[in-house]
Structure 1
Amino acid sequence: MESADGTFYTEMDTDALESKGPPSWRTTGAPLKLRCPVRPLYIVGGGSALLWIVLLCLHVTKSSEMSAKFELLRAEEAKIRENFSHFDVGSMKATIQELQAKVSEVSSQMKNWQSSDHEVSAKFRKLESGLKEQLSNMSSQLDNLRRAATDMSSKIRKVESDLKDVAASNHWRDFDGHKYYFSTKMNSWEFARNACANVSSYLVVITSDLEKAFISSHILDKSWVGLNDLDKESVWKWITGQPMDKRFWEPGEPNNAGNEDCGELMKNGRINDIPCAEQRLWVCEKEGAAEQGKGLNGDLGINK
């Protein structure tokens, strides 16, 4: 133990001092020095006070900021209330309910449609494919019909014109109990044969020199006669089945130069063989004094 003058004593020494000294010293003397000094306690107390001051300042600052934010929120609330004061809440609720009902109905319809969409789409694609195919076929058939109609119309007009020409009375000539028609238009041998048949006549069959001379004097140019070897090559016959008088041939004919199977009468009265598709005038013949103009409004078709 340390005494007032700085001298250290043991516990026993202290007791001896207390017993030896006067009583007044023991009760009124200076206190013994403490082992811990007093100065650190002041430092701790000052630090605590400073900390409390700092915390108080922070609290005051935070309170000011919170108050300012609170005032801003109150101002926003007032503004929102003012903006929404013009709306009728009841009307808005009714409108919202009506819209919700419509949305529900549309949603239900969409679900129903989606469930059947696959089947409907498949049927539609199949129907569309079938219609496109039919349309393509019909278009092709229509094109063919148009071409055929155009061709037929042209042929009909030509046939009608030729038949009217054949039937005109001023083109028929009488000779030896027969009537002869001398065409003014040209066509193939087959057409000439059918044109004569449609006015109850036939391509002319020449059986005598006199008849040949009569016909030669009336034709305007080379003309078809009813002579051919279509049934058998080089076997020339008239369309009536009669054989031909070989004296009527042009010298050196027939020579079949280029598939020549039909006969033509030339202006010199001689017969020549040429291809049946060539374009020539023709001569029709019929027996007796046939009715003038027969066939003009009657048989306009072509006999095959």
Structure 2
Amino acid sequence: MEMREDIYANAGNVAQNGSDSDSSDQSYEEVYVNDVSIDAHKPRSEQRNSSAISSGKKSSRQIQNEAAFHKDSEKADKSSHLQTADPQNRGRSSAGGRCYRLAAVCLGLLCVLLLTAITLLWIKFNNLTAERDQLHTSYTNLTAERDQLHTSYTNLTAERDQLQTSYTDLTMEKDQLQTSCNNLTVERDQLQTSYTSLTKERDQLQTSYTNLTKERDQLRTRCVDVTKERDHLKTSYTSVMEQLQIERAKGNLQGWKSFNTSLYYISTEKTNWSESREDCRKRGVDLVIINSRKEHEFIASQLGSDQAWIGLSDIKNEGQWEWVDGSALTTGYWMKNEPNNQGNEDCGEILGPQANKVWNDRPCSYSQRWICEKTVV
């Protein structure tokens, strides 16, 4: 407010000075012309003193005006000096008066321009003050809004942290549930596989049970048949033993050895395979047919280190071994890499225990012992 009052005071003084200068321009011009004509004859020092004395008598406004036109006074001094020296230059003083009036007009215009500028500045100042007040209000509002936003930001940050913690917990729980789900899925698959396997095993067991039941029934039937056969064999065995005792009493079975239900004759002479079989036929039997390992081991144990012909050959078809009763060979006890048919070996022989109790193929023309078999039953 003090600055505004200073501006108004300066503007008032300038305006008043402008009006005073306009009203006194004419009288001052006339006095100035007379003083110039008088002072032109005085020395320069006296002219300066008189100017100082006259300035002391004048008012403060005239002092300001004289100061403003000090340069014009010096020019007027020069022009008055020229007029004193040359009377013809007096006409030029009137031209100087016109210049003075022109300068006064320009000064007035400057004052007007200055007042206009001050007015514009004052308007600009008011606008800036209003804008400053608006900015201050906006600043206050923005500060309050900033505080609110800061509070909201703090609340949102706290809520975000809580949500982040909840999210982390839920993620861990989700992972645990996923792991549990995977484990349960694996366990379910294993149980499903086990169930499938057990189902198949159950079906197999059911089938096996059914088969075993059938087999049991068959075995029961067979057991009955075997029991009957056993009883029959017992009866036959009893009769065979009685017959053997009778034959031995007569001397007809001298040199025969018995095993199970068969009698075996092992020759002491040697001949080829065909003649060996012919001798057995004369005795009412044929060369031995081996049907089991026990029978094989019994016969081999009777030979010692010797060997003998058995009722086995591939004379009819090479490589197809068959017994003398025409049945095909199913189980053999051959020596390693035998039979090999080296040198037309078409007849079979059995070796004793010192030769590992095995079979061998040999040419049928070879002469050696032979074994006949008689089935009692």
Q: Same fold (TM over 0.5)?
A: no
Structure (1 or 2) with the greater helix fraction:
2
Indicate the structure (1 or 2) with the bigger Cα radius of gyration.
Answer: 2
Greater RCO, CA 8 A, separation 6+: 1
